[in-house]
């Protein structure tokens, strides 16, 4: 087990959470540009390591597990369709001018919570997602976030990602079960799914150490 990964990720998330209060960290131009280019090369590290609203959902899930609340993972036969919802929302917002308060929960949290611009509707939607997050991993990221959807789509060209060594894999399903974004890690040799947020939980949980961050090779087709 690579136990150091998740404490390190928590530390980075906490720094960027502090960035909500120290704006130069979260909103500085070099940081924003750097994060954009990482999407194209190594995937959506922003979502897994930086985004404060993503961090809050992670921390709620951690608390929920500690106090033994029931957790639900949507079965794949439904998830395969449900995971399209964030692209549908993104399409409706971009092309049909649709705007619902709940679609902006990330924006309200990351950008406005500490600037005193929270309205009762945005507060209500934030609270709703946070409550759902006590029972389901990253509900907003999985099904509603337009930024996550767009960055995820860009990330599918990344040449560096998580490689699974099929020779070592014992098909224990642990990587599939722990993934907060419902990526079917066990069914792929090279993870470039747009849902992957590079949280590295699958890498940390694998008992055979057969998952690692690697440069893609030509023979890896999936
Ligand atoms: S999917 Fe959206 S809310 Fe979730 S971590 Fe990424 S940007 Fe933040
Ligand atoms: S956790 Fe590791 S050994 Fe288990 S299914 Fe996933 S890749 Fe294979
Ligand atoms: S595939 Fe692994 S790194 Fe990607 S979101 Fe799932 S658990 Fe995290």
Average pLDDT over residues 123-138: 91
The answer to whether the beta carbons of residues 3 and 204 sit under 8 Å apart is yes
Choosing from 1, 164, 167 the residue with most ligand 2 atoms within 8 A of its CB, the one to mutate for a pocket test is 164
Q: Which ligand is nearest to the CA of 138?
A: 1
β-pair partners for 212:
163
Q: Which ligand is nearest to the CA of 140?
A: 1
To the nearest 5 percent, what fractions of the chain are helix, strand and coil? Answer: 60, 5, 35
> So what's the pLDDT on residue 179?
97
> So what's the pLDDT on residue 27?
58
Q: What backbone torsions phi and psi does residue 215 show, to the nearest 5 degrees?
A: -80, 135
Q: What backbone torsions phi and psi does residue 190 show, to the nearest 5 degrees?
A: -145, 110
Residues with Cβ within 6 A of ligand 3? 162, 178-179, 181, 183, 185, 191, 196-202
As a whole number of angstroms, the distance between CA 33 and CA 197 comes to 18
Of 70-74, 112-116, 136-140, 199-203, give the lowest mean pLDDT range.
Answer: 112-116
- What are the strands, taking DSSP E only, across the chain? 160-164, 190-191, 211-215
> So what's the pLDDT on residue 132?
95
**Would you give the DSSP letter of residue 136?**
B
83, two tokens: 């995971």
Q: How many other C-beta atoms are found inside a 10 Å radius of the C-beta of residue 213?
A: 14
Average pLDDT over residues 60-77: 94
Q: Which of 161, 180, 152, 137 is nearest to 86 (CA)?
A: 152
pLDDT of 155 strictly over 80? yes
For 170-195, write each residue's pLDDT tens digit: 999 999 999 999 999 999 999 989 99
Residues with Cβ within 6 A of ligand 1? 47, 51, 53-54, 106, 140-141, 145, 147-148
> So what's the pLDDT on residue 96?
76
The answer to whether the beta carbons of residues 83 and 117 sit under 8 Å apart is no
């Amino acid at each position: 087990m690579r136990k150091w990964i998740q404490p390190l990720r928590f530390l980075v998330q906490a720094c960027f959470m502090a960035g909500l209060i120290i704006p130069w960290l979260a909103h500085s131009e070099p940081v924003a540009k750097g994060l954009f280019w990482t999407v194209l090369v190594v995937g959506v590290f922003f979502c897994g390591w930086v985004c404060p609203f993503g961090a809050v959902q992670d921390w709620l899930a951690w608390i929920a597990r500690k106090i033994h609340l029931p957790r639900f993972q949507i079965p794949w036969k439904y998830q395969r369709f449900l995971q399209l919802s964030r692209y549908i929302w993104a399409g409706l917002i971009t092309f049909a001018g649709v705007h619902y308060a709940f679609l902006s929960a990330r924006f309200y949290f990351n950008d406005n919570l500490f600037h005193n611009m929270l309205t009762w509707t945005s507060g209500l939607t934030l609270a709703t997602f946070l409550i759902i997050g006590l029972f389901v991993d990253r509900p907003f990221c999985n099904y509603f976030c337009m930024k996550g959807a767009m960055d995820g789509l860009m990330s599918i060209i990344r040449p560096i990602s998580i490689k699974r060594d099929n020779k070592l894999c014992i098909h224990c399903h642990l990587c599939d079960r722990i993934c907060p974004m419902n990526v079917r890690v066990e069914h792929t040799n090279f993870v470039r799914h747009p849902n992957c947020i590079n949280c590295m939980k699958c890498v940390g949980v694998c008992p055979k150490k057969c998952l690692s961050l690697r440069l893609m090779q030509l023979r890896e087709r999936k």
